[in-house]
Amino acid sequence: MVDIKKIITIDGPSGSGKGTITQLVAQKLNWHILDSGALYRVLGLAAQRHGIAFSEVATVAELARNMDLQFRINDENGEVEPILEGENLAPFVRTDEAGQAASQVAVIAEVREALLARQRDFYQSPGLVADGRDMGTIVFPDAPAKIFLTASAECRAERRFNQLKNKGVNANMRALLDSIKARDERDQTRSVAPLVPAEGAFVVDSSNLTISEVLTQVLEFASKSMPDLLPN
Ligand SMILES: Nc1ncnc2c1ncn2[C@@H]1O[C@H](COP(=O)(O)OP(=O)(O)OP(=O)(O)O)[C@@H](O)[C@H]1O
Ligand SMILES: Nc1ccn([C@H]2C[C@H](O)[C@@H](COP(=O)(O)O)O2)c(=O)n1
């Protein structure tokens, strides 16, 4: 019998709620998580730390192939921390600057190729929830359940604003909206693995949905493709 891997892919633009829904789905199913954006974010930071310009395509790709990167779970808060060359990058990896750097290294075809195997290695039994831009189109094209999560740019900027406010960080709504639109444009128009819904993906626009409503819709859809996913 052919072994069908238990994978749910969750792709979508920045701030659409992928990370939030990925964590909730993984918790519910007791599955593993791939936060593929973290790999691109760490690579962007690594390039900056090594003084490599994003335009030095071959050197950035070389860095992607050889990056000394592990992920470690923090025992105290349960958060996943990227450890690059022995340094914990957790305080830097979620910043808007790291997101913009990630989006720039992510346009390089050789970088994407170099990160493919690392991403596929995250698959482990009993299953994987994979969050990114090309999880359903390129990295796990055979995943049985593919989700494309989106929301209006204005709504995503407002969510990001509230997220930062709750952390006590001052943010400017106009700058956040501009940053989100710039990242959308780059991620959707790049020539390699652009952000598009995978064929057969269930598209959820969360602009007017609560997190709990999105979670319900995602689990319902995934259960149709994998009938033994949840107990009745
Ligand atoms: N349906 C929703 N309603 C209200 N707020 C939401 C909803 N979904 C997510 N959020 C909030 O929006 C913010 C961004 O969500 P999240 O970080 O999960 O997005 P993301 O798609 O993973 O972003 P990125 O691609 O930049 O990592 C978080 O504060 C989250 O709590
Ligand atoms: N599968 C992926 C994941 C991420 N990227 C790039 C494009 C994003 O703008 C950037 C940061 O991702 P985030 O952490 O915000 O999800 O990384 C990509 O091209 N492909």
Domain assignment present for 229: no
If one residue of 20, 80, 95, 135 were mutated to test the ligand 1 pocket, choosing by the most ligand atoms within 8 A of its CB, it would be 20
Domain assignment present for 51: yes
CATH code, 26 = 3.40.50.300
State how many domains the chain has.
1
Q: Does position 9 have pLDDT exceeding 70, yes or no? A: yes
Q: Which ligand is nearest to the Cα of residue 25, counting in written order?
A: 1
Nearest Cα neighbor of 102 from 156, 44, 153 is 44
16-51 pLDDT, tens digit per residue, is 999 999 999 999 999 999 999 999 999 999 999 999
Domain assignment present for 226: no
Q: Does position 232 have pLDDT exceeding 80, yes or no? A: no
Ligand 1 atom having least distance to the Cα of 12 = 21
172-193 residues labelled b (16+ CB within 10 A) or e (exposed) = eeeebbebbbebbebbeebeeb
Domain assignment present for 231: no
Domain that holds residue 26: 4-221
ipTM reported for the complex, 2 dp: 0.98
Please give the average per-residue pLDDT across 67-90, as a whole number.
93
Q: Does position 2 have pLDDT exceeding 70, yes or no? A: no
Q: Does position 1 have pLDDT exceeding 90, yes or no? A: no
Please give the average per-residue pLDDT across 90-97, as a whole number.
92
Please give the average per-residue pLDDT across 76-91, as a whole number.
93
160-187 pLDDT, tens digit per residue, is 999 999 989 889 999 999 999 999 999 9
Q: How far apart are CA 73 and CA 7, in angstroms?
A: 22
Q: Which ligand is nearest to the Cα of residue 37, counting in written order?
A: 2
User: What count of other Cβ atoms lies within 10 Å of the Cβ of residue 220?
Assistant: 11
Name the burial class of residue 91, with classes exposed (0-12), middle (13-18) and buried (19+) by CB atoms within 10 angstroms of its CB.
exposed
Q: Does position 73 have pLDDT exceeding 80, yes or no? A: yes
Domain assignment present for 232: no
Instruction: Identify residue 212 by its one-letter amino acid code.
Output: S
Q: How far apart are CA 111 and CA 105, in angstroms?
A: 7
pTM: 0.95
Domain assignment present for 228: no
Domain assignment present for 227: no
- Contact indicator for 204, 147 with CB cutoff of 8 Å: yes
Domain assignment present for 171: yes
Q: Does position 199 have pLDDT exceeding 90, yes or no? A: yes
If one residue of 42, 100, 103, 120 were mutated to test the ligand 2 pocket, choosing by the most ligand atoms within 8 A of its CB, it would be 103
Q: Does position 106 have pLDDT exceeding 80, yes or no? A: yes
